[in-house]
């Protein structure tokens, strides 16, 4: 049995599943940059990548047919992370319809590009997440890392094993991943207190 994290360690802040659905369902206005931004958001939540990994992801790191990304995380450790159909569809649209127009015949090894054919900065992506959250009427203070936390929490809530989540997140120590079990246990306590006749 795994021990819960020690009291005093701050718990990660997460979005609820309805909030994630609202964030990802916010309208794409037909603009190529909007399509890129939505593809980035979908892939971030689908894989739980770090934002630095997302903005620097090479085009060759994505396998659309297989439905996975190859990421080199901290310490240049390689990991494969699967993603689902929603992210795949957005990536297909982005790579086919938006990326060539953003590049304007320039060449880049990166998947997600700016108008200068360079990687987006972490700050710019943070601003995009904030803007999209406002459009989705999410009142929480949201960050890209919050989507990573939400990815891990939602997987565990739906029965994923801790070791698999650890591998997808790229944590070298499973104790780092255990904090998400604490989030889940807090929700269990809250549900028990709310619904149990002697809660």
Task: Yes or no: say if 70 and 80 are a contact pair by the CB < 8 Å rule.
Answer: yes
C-alpha to C-alpha distances, 137 to 13, 18, 123, 127, 145, nearest whole angstrom = 18, 12, 21, 15, 19
On the CB side of 176, CA atoms within 13 Å amount to 10
**Catalytic annotation on 171?**
yes
Return all residues near 153 (Cβ < 8 A) that are at least 6 apart: 12, 14, 180, 183, 184
Tokens standing for 97? Answer: 């319809």
Question: What Rg, from alpha-carbon coordinates, does the chain have?
Answer: 18
3-state class (DSSP) for residue 122: helix
122 counts as catalytic: no
45 noted as active-site residue: no
Q: Is 149 a catalytic residue?
A: no
| Annotated catalytic residue, options 22, 70, 79, 145 | 145
Is the CB of residue 46 less than 8 Å from the CB of residue 40?
no
Tell me whether residue 79 is one of the annotated catalytic residues. no
Task: Give the residue among 42, 48, 47, 36 at the shortest CA–CA distance from 20.
Answer: 42
Gap between the Cα atoms of 18 and 13, Å rounded: 15
Q: Which of 45, 90, 94, 180 is catalytic?
A: 180
**Active site residue: 36, 50, 88, 149, which one?**
50
Does the annotation count 116 as an active-site position? no
Catalytic-role residue among 38, 42, 154, 171: 171
Q: Out of 74, 124, 163, 192, which one is annotated catalytic? A: 74
Name the catalytic one among 36, 88, 99, 148: 148
Catalytic residues, by residue number, are 50, 74, 145, 148, 171, 180
């Amino acid at each position: 049995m795994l021990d819960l994290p020690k009291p005093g360690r701050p718990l990660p802040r997460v979005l609820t599943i309805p909030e994630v659905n609202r964030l990802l369902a916010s309208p794409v206005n037909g603009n190529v940059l909007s399509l890129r931004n939505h593809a980035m958001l979908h892939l971030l939540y689908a894989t739980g990548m770090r934002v630095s990994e997302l903005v620097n992801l090479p085009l060759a790191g994505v396998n659309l047919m297989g439905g996975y990304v190859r990421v080199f995380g901290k310490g240049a450790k390689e990991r494969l992370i699967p993603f689902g159909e929603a992210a795949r569809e957005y990536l297909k649209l982005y790579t086919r319809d938006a990326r060539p127009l953003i590049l304007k015949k320039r060449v880049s090894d990166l998947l997600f590009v700016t108008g200068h054919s360079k990687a987006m900065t972490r700050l710019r992506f943070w601003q995009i997440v904030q803007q999209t959250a406002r459009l989705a009427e999410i009142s929480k203070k949201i960050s890209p890392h919050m989507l990573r936390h939400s990815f891990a929490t939602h997987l565990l809530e739906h029965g994923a094993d801790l070791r698999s989540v650890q591998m997808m997140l790229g944590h070298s120590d499973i104790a780092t991943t255990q904090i998400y079990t604490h989030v889940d246990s807090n929700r269990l306590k809250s549900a028990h207190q709310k619904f149990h006749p002697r809660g």
